[in-house]
Structure 1
Amino acid sequence: MADRLSIITRPRFWIVSALAALLTTGFVSLGMWQVHRLYWKLDLIHKVDARVAAAVVPAPAKSEWGSITQSNDEYRHVTLTGMFLNEDEVQIYTPTVLGPGYWILTPLKRDDGTVVMINRGFVPENLKDPAKRTPPQGVVTVNGLLRISEDRGWLFSRPNDAEGKKWFRRDIGSITKTLGLSPAAPYFVDQEAGSDPSAWPRGGMTVLNFRNSHLSYAITWFAMAAMTLFMYGIFLRFEGFFGKSRARPEGHEADDDEWE
């Protein structure tokens, strides 16, 4: 008991103990956060799979625009009818499994006068020019997945150049405002693949594989917490907290100030 009292009065004991407590708490907190993210991601995947496989429903009308949210509406399987405004087509650069190229976004004007941007699909770089493609004419029906506007760029993404009409993400608000399209929906629709697999633009290329490494991250953080506690136990053992110190030779009597 006396040895333990002498150990806990040493500054080093409290410094190491505080550091071990801080690291353990931090690692456990990070692990719990990753567990929370894991269940969130699994729930998201389940919802997306259910929405993609569901029967098509009418795309949200103007009266519903204000209530659209990413968690409740993104990837809904929707349908809408109208005429493409081909003269207002926008190309957005993107890398894909087919190589680099462009998303072709074309506004669709519905019977009620509202406009919805349609991502008609992907074209390779050599087909960026609309003159090299045959645009759709007349009234068409589009089926696809509702997507939320990409208002924010990624860490290394280039900023949009609205004045030059060059966009590097699907920022629907910026695009429709620059083109003077109104009233325009705050979402866009990824058109599904057509009957001709060789046609361009190539629809049905929405990425639906969500990276889910949260379980491995959680295990890593919890393992680091356990390792911290293990190393702290070794420290206490060598300090003599559990009996004779393993750091001192047999028969050696340390002065009170030794190991300070």
Structure 2
Amino acid sequence: MKKAVFALLLLAATGLFLSLGLWQLQRLEWKSQLITTTQSNLTLPPIPAPSPAIPLTPASAYTPVTVSGSYVSGKDTFVLASTRHGRGYWVLTPLHTQTFTVLINRGFITRAQQASLTTPSGTVVVQGLLRLSEPAGTLLQSNNPSQNLWYARHVSAIATHHNLTNTAPYFIDADATAPTPPIGGLTVVHFRNNHLQYALTWFGMALLSLTGLGILLRRQRPQA
């Protein structure tokens, strides 16, 4: 009886591992297509930043865009960041256009530069990359708007914190435009793509389970 139960468990495990391996192959195809689309996006000429009414997809990320408007002074959000320039903050500032508001990641500053940061006045033209909103943080480092602690560029939370309305569901990484802080143009385009390794791992587990099942069944055969 115990051997029969164990055999059923091995059979179920084999099916589960095969399903997980096939799922990872599907994820591999999706990720490869996303990487190809992103690389293609980066070569496109800038287009007008889309309004909040236009739906976005993962393929919209890293599209070059341009937008004009005026920055909202006093509503900067400082998101902890680590770049080749050291540790510091991304500076996200709302930009009011004629029809909507969009968060602009103006670039990177160090902690020492935070106190002397100023906001450009008048109408400005921003060119950069469209970025999709990030998750609210990690298990160990979650955004805490009440204490103004930000670990991720979560657009809706930032908009709510600053009482912004009609805000685009994305932010824009501004290109480098000046040698003075904030330093723009630091977007790192990199995708982890380990799905093939994961698939091979699951298929290997399925093979081990199937091998164990075969050994168990052979031992149960009556001896001649």
| TM, length-normalised to structure 2 | 0.88
Displacement of 1:41 in angstroms is: 0.7
TM-aligned CA distance change 1:226 to 1:166, over 3 Å: closer
Q: Which residue of 2 is the match for residue 249 of structure 1?
A: none
Contact map agreement 2:155 2:169 (CA 8 A) in 1: yes
Structure 2 residue 132 is matched with structure 1 residue 148: yes
Match of 2:195 in 1: 214
Instruction: Using the TM superposition, give the Cα deviation of residue 72 of structure 1 relative to its aligned residue in structure 2, in angstroms.
Output: 4.3
Equivalent residue letter for 1:69: L
Displacement of 1:175 in angstroms is: 2.2
Give how far 1:202 is off: 1.7
The structure 2 residue matched to 1:122, chosen from 108, 117, 120, is 108
Q: Is the 8 A contact 2:136 2:143 kept in 1?
A: no
Letter in 1 for 2:114: K
Are 1:194 and 2:177 matched, yes or no?
A: yes
Note the alpha carbon deviations across 1:10-57, whole angstroms, 9 max, x for none. Answer: x24422320221110011011011111111111111111111221100
Judge conservation of contact 2:107–2:173 (CA < 8 Å) in 1.
yes
SS in 2 for 1:147: strand
Aligned pair 1:136/2:117, yes or no?
A: no
Q: Does 1:52 align with 2:42?
A: yes
Corresponding position of 1:96: 83
Residue from 218, 234, 240 that aligns with 2:215: 234
Deviation readout 1:111-137 (Å, 9 max, x if unpaired) = x153211001111222222x2x45434
**Contact persistence 1:151–1:172 (CA under 8 A):** no
Q: Which amino acid aligns with 1:93?
A: L
Unmatched tracts of structure 2, length 5 or more: none
SS for the counterpart of 1:145 is strand
Q: Is the 8 A contact 1:83 1:137 kept in 2?
A: yes
Q: CA deviation at 1:93?
A: 1.2
Corresponding residue for residue 33 of structure 2: 43
Q: State the superposition RMSD in angstroms.
A: 2.2
The yes-or-no answer on 1:19 pairing with 2:5 is no
Deviation sequence 1:173-195 (CA, Å, 0-9, x none): 23233323333322211112236
Three-state SS of the structure 1 residue aligned to 2:42 is helix
Equivalent pairs counted in the alignment come to 224
Q: Percent identity?
A: 37
Does the CA-based 8 Å contact 2:34-2:59 persist in structure 1? no
Aligned 8 A contact 2:136 2:153 in 1: no
- 159 and 136 in structure 1: CA distance in 2 versus 1, 3 angstrom threshold: closer
**Matched-pair contact (CA < 8 Å) for 1:106–1:117:** yes
Name 1:179's counterpart in structure 2.
Answer: 162
Q: Provide the secondary structure at the position in 1 that maps to 2:153.
A: coil
Contact 1:82 1:141 in 2 (8 A): yes
Amino acid at match of 2:161: T
- Aligned amino acid, residue 183 of structure 1: N
SS of aligned partner of 1:66: coil
Partner Cα distance (1:158, 1:16) in 2? 43
Runs of 5+ consecutive residues of structure 1 not aligned to the other structure: 1-10, 245-260
Per-residue deviation, 1:67: 3.1
Structure 1 counterpart of 2:144, from 160, 166, 172: 160
